A and B are shown apart, each in its own frame.
Chain A
Amino acid sequence: EVQLVESGGGLVQPGGSLRLSCAASGFTFSSYAMSWVRQAPGKGLEWVSAITGSGGRTDNADSVKGRFTISRDNSKNTLYLQMNSLRAEDTAVYFCAKGTNIVGLTPRLDYWGQGTLVTVSS
């Protein structure tokens, strides 16, 4: 059974940093691209970042470019999102999600975690 479990969310001040983790199990982690998608309170889904199975290519939304970095450790079956220079508008539930092939960064995501809440506030 595929499982994705996010952690690392919490309350952080504007300008601060946070690192989210997503522990994956039930599939060959290195064989699939992975993504982060966020949802602000009461709002819709927003694609944030994606990374290929090897970690060799990443892409980020313009809204987080230069501030967020997606990475993965295939030896630990774990996906990360390093978030720096956080702003109030980054407040959201952050979901990690599994892609359907090794290289596609498209938002064709067949399994999702339950999400972790990030609140940016003073």
Chain B
Amino acid sequence: QSVLTQPPSVSAAPGQKVTISCSGSSSNIENNYVSWYQQLPGTAPKLLIYDDNKRPSGIPDRFSGSKSGTSATLGITGLQTGDEADYYCATWDPSLSAGVFGGGTKLTVL
């Protein structure tokens, strides 16, 4: 049981938009920055979003992040088949003195 809760799966058609939610608590998401990772099958995770809504260089602006209270959201517009992957949110939880990841969301582009 992950400290951060994500939907197990989401799906949408190519060209459409999808959002992935990440629900936490006041001890983690609400007061700490959230990062998002993309993991393509058989590969290492890749940083997509950091500090709630910032994109590392090279990440297209189709990917966006937002946060409100104890929840964070990853948005992906203009879906491509290459976006099919597992997506994870992560943050620090000072009450645990530990990093925490969401359980992951599998994105299917139909």
Residues of A within 8 A of B (CB): 35, 37, 44-47, 50, 59-62, 95, 97, 100, 105-110, 112-115
Contacts and interface: CB of A to CB of B under 8 A. Distances in A.
Given A105-B92, A108-B33, A47 B50 contact: no
11 contacts: A44-B2, A44-B103, A45-B90, A47-B98, A61-B98, A61-B99, A108-B33, A109-B37, A109-B47, A110-B50, A112-B46
Interface of B: 2, 32-33, 35, 37, 39, 43-47, 50-51, 56, 86, 88, 90-92, 96-104
Contacts of B56: 110
Contacts, number: 71
B10 to A, nearest CB: 15
Nearest to A61: B98
Contacts of B39: 45
Interface of A is mostly: strand
B98 A60 contact: yes
Nearest to B102: A44
B98 A106 contact: no
A108 B98 contact: no
A115 B97 CA distance: 24
